[in-house]
């Protein structure tokens, strides 16, 4: 089992979510985060003081899936989230040992 973590533009969240639904992804968790990467943010003045706004809002979408679904999911995310401009974000894939559905106690692949 793998966790796919995609950090994307907030404006793309709706499209990615819908697409993943169509791809058969049953569950996902979304967090509103801020981040920096290539995209550098901007400077602003508040009452005459310059300051840097270098953490930009991003949506972090996490979904745990079976190993063989990973590639399809990654491709789907890229298809929807890509604009080609700096700031499109990243996808990380990391191992998950087990998953449990709290409602039923089911474990493993059937729980995700």
Partner 1 sequence: MIEVAIDTIWVLLAAFLVFFMQAGFAMVEAGFTRAKNAGNIIMKNLMDFACGSLLYWAVGFALMFGVTRGGIIGSSGFFGGGLFEHLELDIPIAAFLLFQTVFAATAATIVSGAMAERTKFISYLIYSIVITAVIYPVVGHWAWGGGWLGKLGFIDFAGSTIVHSVGGWAALVGAAVLGPRLGKFNSEGKPNAIPGHNITLSALGVFILWFGWFGFNPGSTISGLNLSIAHIAVTTNLSAAAGAVLAMIVSWLRYGKPDVSLTLNGALAGLVGITAGTAAVSFFGSVVIGAGAGVLVILAVEFIEKVLHIDDPVGAVAVHGVCGAYGTVMVGLFATDGGLFYGGGMALLGVQALGVLAVAAWIMSTTFILFKVIQVTVGLRVSASEEEGGLDTGEHGMNAYADFAMRTAP
Residue 71 C-alpha from the chain's centroid: 15
- Long-range pairs for 22-30 at CB < 8 Å and ≥24 separation? 23/72, 23/73, 23/76, 24/69, 25/63, 25/65, 25/69, 25/73, 26/112, 27/63, 27/64, 27/112, 28/61, 28/62, 28/63, 29/61, 29/62, 29/63, 30/59, 30/60, 30/61, 30/62
User: Closer CB to ligand ADP, residue 23 or residue 88?
Assistant: 88
User: Closer CB to its own copies, residue 45 or residue 51?
Assistant: 51
Residue 81 C-alpha from the chain's centroid: 10
Q: Which of residues 60-89 bind partner 1 (CB under 8 A)?
A: none
Q: Which stretch binds partner 1 (CB under 8 A): 16-24, 49-57, 67-75, 95-103?
A: 49-57
| 56 is an interface residue for ligand ADP by CB under 6 A | yes
Q: How far is the CB of 96 from its own copies (least distance, A)?
A: 5
108's contact among partner 1, ligand ADP, its own copies, none, with CB below 5 to 8 A by partner kind, is none
Contact residues: its own copies, CB under 8 A: 2-3, 6-8, 17, 26-31, 33-38, 54-55, 58, 60, 64, 74, 77-78, 81-103, 105, 111-112
């Amino acid at each position: 089992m793998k966790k796919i973590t995609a950090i994307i533009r907030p404006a793309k969240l709706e499209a990615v979510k819908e697409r993943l639904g169509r791809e058969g992804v049953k569950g996902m968790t979304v967090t509103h985060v801020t981040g920096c990467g290539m995209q550098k943010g901007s400077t602003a003045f508040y009452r005459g003081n310059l300051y840097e706004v270098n953490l930009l809002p991003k949506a972090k979408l996490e979904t745990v899936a079976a190993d063989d679904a990973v590639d399809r999911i990654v491709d789907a995310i890229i298809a929807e989230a890509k604009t080609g401009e700096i700031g499109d974000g990243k996808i990380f894939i990391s191992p998950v040992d087990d998953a449990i559905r709290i409602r039923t106690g089911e474990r493993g692949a059937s729980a995700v």
